[in-house]
Amino acid sequence: MSDDKTDEVDVMYGLKTVLAQIEGAVARRSKDLPQISPKLVAVSKIKPVPLIIQAYEAGQRHFGENYVNELVEKAHDPQILEKCKEIKWHFIGHLQSNKVNKCLGAPGLYVVETVESEKLAYNLNKQWVKFRKEDEKLNVMVQVNTSGEEAKNGIEPSQATNLVEYVIKQCPNLNFQGLMTIGQYDYDTSLGPNPDFLSLAKCRQEVCEKLNLDINNVELSMGMSTDFEHAIELGATTVRVGSKIFGARPLKKH
């Protein structure tokens, strides 16, 4: 095992550090915000199965993947099936309609965080009946494009309430859990609170007021390795952290 590359990363240490930082951030969070204790999603994309198992054995349950093929492969991995029986997968990538069935078939799928259109919600709602156990609903979040960047997925903030309403009223097989954003990378917080996080929090306010939802039941999924503490201070209830736990990923090829 000693020359196994995965041994170079101390997942347990990364996890402990992040969990301690989360606690610190919760203590600094404004008392006006819903006091939901944040859920840590360990984003394992590109990282090998043994690291996922290490994190699971250290107590981590929520994991995130952003490619359907990779999610499905990992979710079906015999080691994961055997050793990580309570694993909860978050799908956090762009979901194309032709991949819906594949995604929904992943064992341990817990939530699709990236619903960005009525069409996708419609497809998920329709197909889920083939995969669900008993009458369990599929958890979904609505992804909002808070930064207005064209390359980013997600619905416009002004349309978020309409999409949430569609999910709640027209999609009986889906359970609306909250809102998610990716936002701009490497925002400099010396300039003040990240506008993407403020925008997502504002969306939640509007959604809850217009649709008469209890704000304490509507999650905000925002914040990654570089800014999850800041996100929690601004109300994140789910943070998606990858490299801070599993080590840096190779840079994207352009």
Ligand X SMILES: *Cc1c(COP(=O)(O)O)cnc(C)c1O
Binding site for ligand X (CB under 6 A): 43, 45, 66, 92, 182, 224-225, 240-244
CB of 66 to ligand X, least distance (A): 4
Cβ nearer to ligand X, comparing 64 with 157: 64
- Measured from the CB atom, is 85 or 249 closer to ligand X? 249
Taking the complex as a whole, the smallest distance from the CB of residue 107 to ligand X amounts, in Å, to 21
Q: Tell the smallest beta-carbon distance from residue 179 to ligand X (Å).
A: 13
Q: Which are the contacts of 175, defined by CB distance < 8 A and separation ≥ 6?
A: 137, 138, 139, 140
Q: How far is the CB of 147 from ligand X (least distance, A)?
A: 13
Question: Are 137 and 174 contacting, i.e. CB atoms less than 8 angstroms apart?
Answer: yes
Q: Which is nearer to ligand X, 178 or 242 (CB)?
A: 242
Nearest residue to ligand X, scored by beta-carbon proximity:
242
Least Å from the CB of residue 92 to ligand X: 4
**14-23 CB contacts, 8 Å cutoff, 24+ apart:** 14/244, 14/245, 14/246, 14/247, 15/42, 15/55, 15/58, 15/59, 15/60, 15/245, 16/58, 17/244, 18/228, 18/241, 18/244, 18/245, 21/228, 21/229, 22/228, 22/229, 22/232, 22/239
149-171 burial by CB neighbour count: b if 16+ within 10 A, else e? Answer: eeebbbbebebbbebbebbeeeb
For ligand X, the closer of residues 29 and 244 by Cβ is 244
- Residue with Cβ nearer ligand X (21 or 243): 243
